[in-house]
Chain A
């Protein structure tokens, strides 16, 4: 009886509306693009599972906007969502109020090495940003492993060609954020 609360059609309708609203915002002729590189460290451990990773943007004093979540989205019956709560700051800031899979946000887990993902202002999960201070947050949680969170503050609009760098020390490696048009 409780199962009636999660119809697939309702979920699809919900995400479609979200994307529609974001897409309706004016997109500049040469859209600001944000290239993010997240390095997943290669770890020498007996039991290795690729980490669950969440990427989100926090406006100063505002609510979080999830850009990407890499998890086992293709498990039977959505079982991979069971451990999303382990990305615990993201889960509290944004994840727990989302529905999964989330269009344009859900992705497969990624292998060790530099992983690239790009976002365009005014479109998709990044959407339109008003001028101000923001923090990009990357959080990784690994099954039978640890958890780490790296914050990269930036201002909007960014300086053209600007690259910001940060690094984790256990579950995340080098992280870079490049702005281009």
Chain B
């Protein structure tokens, strides 16, 4: 009943949201879910599901876009996604794990949001605008051009043998995770410390949302809300074993909002309005803001 009500509410919201580009994917969460994160042995495979949904981790809304998803072996080489398949509700693929150490699997995209004035009207930059095609996206004669970047990262980690940190060198682009506690070394009842960087510097006062999977079989969301300190660090104590969804976002202050999962320019912007033609731009409330989001799924083992 509750789920039905929520779904109806989502549909109603989706209908009204068509005029508002920013809220198309309201409340939908995007995720990558690995079959497991801790491996022993020498020749392993991980299978990963990519989806966008309300409840974690259930396939009930849209497959996650894996166009930009890549996988890296512990030595930094890129390894292929294999056996990729698209379903109605999920994309799935495998990664062959032949090295020892920590693999990273995920996507990092940066898009440009913005507005310009042309012929007395304020126009919004089209979806899919990036730094590379920005010049082409602005027509001749446009004035008052205002732009800001939106960086969205959605990635997971799996380890064969001892977890390693070779893949955690920050790129300085968007929100990134620094493993004070390694994301493949999490145990229920213990506290883990993660540091987040925004464009290479500690991401201060950034909202961190942690939600355990299995939502369908309980009444409470059991969401953990935290904020990073001045050093960009956040401490999370895991109440139970299981898979957890973590979302860190600088934008909007709302999960699923701009810069958040499924937000504009996000790699999985496949919200209910995705198939509808672009909505007429609304008048901007102010200059566009630099936004960034980070999503990961971590596995917490039983002690």
* B residues in contact with A5, CB < 8 Å: 99-100
Chain A residues with a Cβ under 8 A of chain B: 2-3, 5-6, 77-79, 81-85, 88-89, 91-92, 95-97
A-B contacts, 29 listed (Cβ < 8 Å): A2-B75, A2-B99, A3-B98, A5-B99, A5-B100, A6-B100, A78-B41, A78-B42, A79-B41, A81-B40, A81-B41, A82-B40, A82-B44, A83-B40, A83-B41, A84-B40, A85-B38, A85-B39, A85-B40, A88-B38, A88-B301, A88-B302, A91-B38, A91-B40, A92-B187, A92-B301, A95-B40, A96-B40, A96-B161
* B residues in contact with A2, CB < 8 Å: 73, 75, 98-99
* Residue of A3, A84, A96, A97 ringed by the most chain B CB atoms within 10 A: A96
* B162 with A96: CB separation less than 8 A: yes
* A residues in contact with B163, CB < 8 Å: 96
* A residues in contact with B187, CB < 8 Å: 92
CB distance from B166 to the nearest CB of A (A): 13
Q: In the bound complex, how far is the Cα of B303 from the Cα of A33, in angstroms? A: 31
Q: In the bound complex, how far is the Cα of B43 from the Cα of A79, in angstroms? A: 8
Q: Is the CB of B185 closer than 8 A to any CB of chain A?
A: yes
Query: For chain B, which range describes its interface: under 10, 10 to 19, 20 to 34, or 35 or more residues?
Result: 20 to 34
Closest to A79 in B: B41
* Residue of A2, A81, A83, A89 ringed by the most chain B CB atoms within 10 A: A2
Q: In the bound complex, how far is the Cα of B38 from the Cα of A78, in angstroms? A: 17
Q: In the bound complex, how far is the Cα of B46 from the Cα of A82, in angstroms? A: 13
* B303 with A89: CB separation less than 8 A: yes
Q: In the bound complex, how far is the Cα of B163 from the Cα of A91, in angstroms? A: 12
* B residues in contact with A91, CB < 8 Å: 38, 40
Q: Identify A97's interface contact among B44, B99, B162, CB under 8 A.
A: B162
| Per-position 1/0 for B97-131, Cβ under 8 A of A | 01110000000000000000000000000000000
Q: In the bound complex, how far is the Cα of B302 from the Cα of A82, in angstroms? A: 19
CB interface residues, B 2-42, toward A, < 8 Å: 38-42
* Residue of B42, B43, B98 ringed by the most chain A CB atoms within 10 A: B42
Closest to B97 in A: A2
Closest to A5 in B: B99
CB distance from B87 to the nearest CB of A (A): 27
* B residues in contact with A83, CB < 8 Å: 40-41
* B residues in contact with A79, CB < 8 Å: 41, 43
Given the known interface contacts A5-B100, A88-B301, the answer about A77 and B43 at a Cβ–Cβ threshold of 8 Å is yes
CB distance from A54 to the nearest CB of B (A): 12
* A residues in contact with B185, CB < 8 Å: 92
Q: In the bound complex, how far is the Cα of B100 from the Cα of A3, in angstroms? A: 10
Closest to A78 in B: B42
**Closest 3 A-B residue pairs measured CB to CB?**
A82-B41, A84-B40, A85-B40
* B42 with A77: CB separation less than 8 A: yes
* A84 with B73: CB separation less than 8 A: no
Q: In the bound complex, how far is the Cα of B99 from the Cα of A85, in angstroms? A: 16
Given the known interface contacts A88-B301, A92-B185, A97-B162, the answer about A6 and B38 at a Cβ–Cβ threshold of 8 Å is no
